[in-house]
Amino acid sequence: MIVRLPMLEDARAQRTVVSSFGGYNHTPGVKENQFFDMVNMSSDEFPLLSPRKPYVHVRNVGYPEALYAHNKLCWIADNGFYYDGVRYGNAPDSSQLVGMGAYVTVWRDKAIFNSSSNTYRQLESQRSVTDVVKKVSDNLSFALTNLTQDPWYPDEEQRNHYQPFQAGEVVEISYFDLVEVDDPGGTPWMTVIRQYEWVKILNVQTEEDSGLSEYVETEMNQSFWERYQELQDILDTGKGEAYGFTDIDVRLSRKVPDMDFVCEWNNRLWGCSSEKHELYASALGDPYNWNVFEGTSQDSYILTIGSTGEFTGICAYGGGLLLFKENCIHRLYGTSPSNYQLTTLVCDGVQKGCERSICERNGILYYVSQYGVCAYSGSYPTVISGDLGNVEYTEASAGGWQNKVYFCMKAAAHSCYPDEIKGEHWEILVFDAERGCWHKEDELHAVCFAAFENRLYFLNAENRSLYVAAADDTFPTSDKVHWFVRTGKQCSQLPDNKTVSKIQIKATVFSGARLCIELRYDSGERWEKYYEQISHRKMCYTIPIIPRRCDHFEIRISGTGEVLVHSLARELEQGSEL
């Protein structure tokens, strides 16, 4: 009798090859073709793994606050406004630049730069009045104090930035008034308060000899004119001296609302105020006038917003105006004040402090909310930052270029695996909208981005400089980028015993570049170096690595300069659970 015994077969090795790399995934569920951590990587050579192009230093700018692409690049730095590198005026309180035709407006200093004449002016004006008379035409004429003697413009720089009143503007008249106040005890008493009226300017005349004295003719304001005459009588008779009333102190002022965020839409400037819960619009085509209400399509506009919470951003998108709060988006549509309509979408809005993250690219609006980076196409925003993990990001800015959106965000101290803890730091994270993947480029603070002449510029707060985000023929550089990628825990999801018999990495290393490959086993503290090469000419290498037996391992690939990783292969022999 022949007894046939069972035969044991050798475990057949399973070979997996990754040749399409999917970018950054800082979660425990990182895939085999993704990387748990990286620095200075890019999707430029997708599906290959490659480092980013070097950033190129353009110029020092001082401490940066804002960057904007107009006909030339302009920015705010060291409390000043710069256009094409030339400083034109002070901007100590500003952090936002908004274009409107030939103008660039500066907020919150309420200043305006005319790129046609290279003049920098204040949007608001306030002038003291020396005399008021009633003309034969029943209009009012205000004689303004000579500009060199006006207490509101004590130095030459302020006078140089003064914008004279213009015909058609609606200005505020303010003056001291002596009024009677009821006393709870029954004895009335008198006090001096400042009263306010509004009036439209019809004509402005300037003295030819000095060019500094002005006469402003306005429409009749009957209540002001009658009270002004009564106050003049009180002054002439001395009846107001006992109450401290010695001067009417008439002033004319062109006012602009205090606004948190500003943008341009349909040839108007729009802004919002969290303090007053209001939305404002300038007169059509006129950034100076915000108080024109004559019942025409060119009027200014004011709307009270009833929702709770602070405004967090504003932008024009999709034929309308979007007004953000953290928990909703208000959408304004229409063509003139008579047909403006407001709707509200309850959703994830812009996170407070992330107003600079609002960025449109290829018809999609991107911004950072409390729950991650959102993409909005007009219906409902979708969070697209699941691969960034549970890291809390704040103070974001963004810029779009080609098929990518660059985000610079402050990452809070975080951990994903028990052995992975990182303190608070800045990160530049790039979303490739075409391929749907993320890459982490650098860990620096980019205050603002601006796309200009087919390049992306940003302001680096760390060395106070202007940079181009990628070197090219116009902005060449010999700098080499230091980069690395680190995989997730390989094989940790397999319950059975296993052995990785071989790892192969195929890479092209360019002349002068360095490539290094390290492994770490079972979440240990030490990385073991298996390969390092500095190439003296462009070469393609296939690098074999024989790892030791372990439960799981991680691979770190790092280098300096230009390297292309074509594939990563792994041969796995899987055994039983025993």
**pLDDT, tens digit (0-9, with 9 covering 90-100), for 438-468:** 999 999 999 999 999 999 999 999 999 999 9
Q: Check whether 176 has a pLDDT greater than 80.
A: yes
Mean pLDDT of 492-510: 81
Residue 140: name the closest of 251, 222, 235, 249 by CA.
Answer: 222
Which residues are bridge partners to 325 per DSSP? 311, 328
Predicted pLDDT at 181: 76
What amino acid occupies position 438? W
- 58: pLDDT confidence band, cut at 50, 70 and 90? very high
Using pLDDT thresholds of 50, 70 and 90, give the confidence band for residue 244: confident
Q: Is this structure's pTM higher than 0.85?
A: yes
Q: What is the DSSP letter of 342?
A: E
- The band of 12, judged by pLDDT with boundaries at 50, 70 and 90, is low
pLDDT at 11 > cutoff 60: no
Phi, psi torsion values for 491, nearest 5 degrees: 70, 5
Distances from the Cα of 514 to the Cα of 254, 332, 559, 564, angstroms: 63, 54, 5, 11
**Cα–Cα distance between 244 and 225 in angstroms, integer?**
22
Q: Range with the lowest mean pLDDT among 11-20, 223-232, 396-405?
A: 11-20
Measured between alpha carbons, how far is 25 from 341 in angstroms, rounded to an integer?
42
Predicted confidence (pLDDT) per residue in 410-420, tens digit: 999 866 554 56
| pLDDT for position 243 | 84
Largest CA distance in the chain: 142
| Residue matched to tokens 């709707």 | 343
User: What per-residue confidence (pLDDT) applies to 472?
Assistant: 79
pLDDT at 169: 93
pLDDT band at 136 (very low <50, low <70, confident <90, very high): confident
Torsion sign (Cα): 450, 456, 461, 466: negative
Is the pLDDT at 349 greater than 70, yes or no?
yes
Q: What is the pLDDT of residues 81-115, one digit of tens each?
A: 999 999 999 999 888 999 999 999 999 999 999 99
Q: What is the per-residue pLDDT for 10?
A: 58
Question: Each residue of 521-555: pLDDT tens digit?
Answer: 988 889 999 999 999 999 999 999 999 888 889 99
Q: How many CA atoms lie within 13 A of 578 on its CB side?
A: 0
Rounded to 5°, the CA angle 166-110-276 comes to 105
Phi first, then psi, for residue 128 (nearest 5°) are: -80, 145
By CB atoms closer than 10 A (0-12, 13-18, 19+), residue 473 is exposed
How far apart, in whole angstroms, are the C-alpha atoms of residue 430 and residue 423?
21
Mean pLDDT of 38-48: 96
- In the three-class reduction of DSSP (H, G, I as helix; E, B as strand; rest coil), residue 161 is classed as coil
H/E segment holding residue 156? helix 156-160
Tens digits of residue pLDDT in 367-411: 999 999 999 999 999 999 999 998 999 999 999 999 999 999 999
The three-state secondary structure class of 190 is strand
Mean pLDDT of the chain: 91
Residue range 342-355: average pLDDT? 97
Q: Kindly state the helix (H) or strand (E) to which residue 77 belongs, with its residue range.
A: strand 73-77
**Is the pLDDT reported for residue 193 higher than 80?**
yes
Tell me: pLDDT of 495 over 80: no
Pick the closest to residue 91 from 103, 73, 78 (CA basis). Answer: 78
